Structures are given as structure tokens and as C-alpha cells.
Copies of this chain bind each other. A is one copy, B any other.
Amino acid sequence: MTTQQLTDQIKKKKSFLCIGLDVDLNKIPKHLLDTEDPIFEFNKAIIDATHHLCVAYKPNTAFYEAYGIKGWKALEKTIQYLNQNHPDIFTIADAKRGDIGNTSTMYAKAFFEDLAFDSVTIAPYMGKDSVEPFLAFKNKHTILLALTSNTGAFDFQTKSIDGKELYKQVLETSKTYQNSENLMYVVGATKAEYFSDIRKIIPNSFLLVPGVGAQGGNLQDVCKYGMSDNVGLLINSSRGIIYASNKEDFAQAAANNAKALQQQMEEILNM
């Protein structure tokens, strides 16, 4: 998918919502546990109920790997279901990978070719040759961790490196990578005041923003400081939407919460 297609989708749906499919078998409705593939059945119901309200889905691979082969099968079925039924929706493998060159190429093949995701999240610690193999894939997107939404972000990301915070160094250095136009960035919503500085370095790149809702981030603040001319934001909500109810009405409850966020986004886009 191209960035333009993503932007078109945002304008059409009046939404820049990304729904995180982080499926924990301890949290999903009990009646699904009797089905052959509870994880996929849960995702399918959520997707069926919310696809008109969001522009992206983001399964976090950890939640699938934790269930071994069964989990990988559910991930495979979920991405296939999305690509077959909603090819216009942007898909993100939230995998936070990154390794030396030939190994990053293997990860890129896994997520871009074998699973056919539109994008994958990558940790920047190993630098240029760990990121560029992902950037080499045309119309695929590499979402680099810049400033994450957790407390551990203050351990290293916000520390000053040669006079500039590490996450800013990551933003600036990554702009010099080959095919850097395929880069997007993770920036946590819990730190809305950082967005102005970030936009000075990367005025137009898409930002994947976790941390609205459960982690305390504020949508209006993020948009005020982080929105670019082409919107340039994907606001993720996982638990706040998919676990809105753990009863039989879970999909409708998820849709209601997604709708509430979409309406706030529509208001912001109309301003």
C-alpha cells in the first residue's frame, strides 16, 4: 500500500484509528474458547464489527507467539482474512524486530512476503544495516521505534546523546537511510509535548501513536502538536476497544468504543 492510499482512506472514513489486535485468551469472552481457533474467531468478529471505523489493524506478534504454532496459525489466518476482505486497510505487524543485515532480510521476508503485512515495527538500536533491508521493499513500510509510551522510554530514549536526545538522533539518522521515504515512526501519546519538536525533524512522516486511552494519552493534544498536512497520524487503541466487554456483546461493545474515537477524529479533521 502507498502512503497516498493510506491518506485517501483516512479522508474517506474520517478516521485515523488503528485497532491493536493483542489477543489474550484470558481476556476474551469464554464462549469463544470452545471454538477451534478462539484467537482468530475473536479477531474476525472484531474486524467485522469495526472495519468501517478504522484505517489500520495492528496485531502484536508477542500475543500470537505466546501460543506457539497455534498462535502463528491464528496470526496467519487473521492477516489473510484482512487482505482478502479489506485490502484497503493498512496492516501493521507490531513485531519490534531488528538484527544484522542478512537476518533483517529474513524478518522482512517473513512479514512482507510470507505474511503479506503492509508494515512492521522495528527497533533502531542496531542501526542502519539492521533497518535498510526492510526499507528495500517497495510499497511496504518500516515503522521505527522513536519515543515509546512506556516508562522505560526514559532509560535511554530521552537521554542526551552528543547534545541531542537519543530519539531525535534516531529520527535524524534514519532520514539518511536508503529508501527512507518508506519510514514511519512510533511516538507514544503519553508525551504530547514532544510532538512539536518531532515534527520539526520529520514534518510529513506518518507516526504510529500508542498510548491513547489505557496508558493515559490525550487525543486532542496529540493532534494539536502532531498532525501534519496529510494527517500523518495513526492513533492506536488496543485494550480500550477489543476488551470493551468480555460477554457475548464484545464485538458490538468494541464497535461502540471505536465509533466514539472515530467521531472525535472526525471532529478534529473537520476543524
Contact = CB atoms under 8 A, between A and B. Distances in A.
Interface stretch (A3-11, A31-39, A100-108, A241-249): A100-108
Interface string A131-175: 100000000000001001111111111011110001001100100
Contacts of A130: 150, 152
A118 interface: no
Given A125-B145, A128-B151, A130-B150, A103 B60 contact: yes
Interface stretch (A62-70, A216-224, A225-233): A62-70
Given A127-B157, A159-B162, A149 B100 contact: yes
A161 B151 contact: no
Given A60-B99, A148-B100, A160-B161, A66 B109 contact: yes
Contacts of A173: 155-156
A125 B66 contact: no
A123 interface: yes
Contacts of A128: 151-152, 155
A72 interface: yes
A181 interface: no
A180 to B, nearest CB: 13
Interface string A64-92: 01111100110010000000000000000
A201 interface: no
Interface of A: 22, 24, 60, 62-63, 65-69, 72-73, 76, 96-101, 103-104, 106-107, 109-110, 114-115, 123-131, 145, 148-157, 159-162, 166, 169-170, 173
Given A100-B150, A153-B127, A161-B161, A107 B65 contact: yes
A161 B150 CA distance: 20
Given A22-B103, A123-B98, A114 B68 contact: yes
Contacts of A66: 106-107, 109-110, 114
A201 to B, nearest CB: 15
8 closest Cβ pairs, A-B complex: A127-B152, A127-B155, A62-B106, A65-B110, A66-B106, A100-B150, A128-B152, A161-B161
Contacts of A100: 148-150, 152
Given A103-B60, A106-B63, A151 B125 contact: no
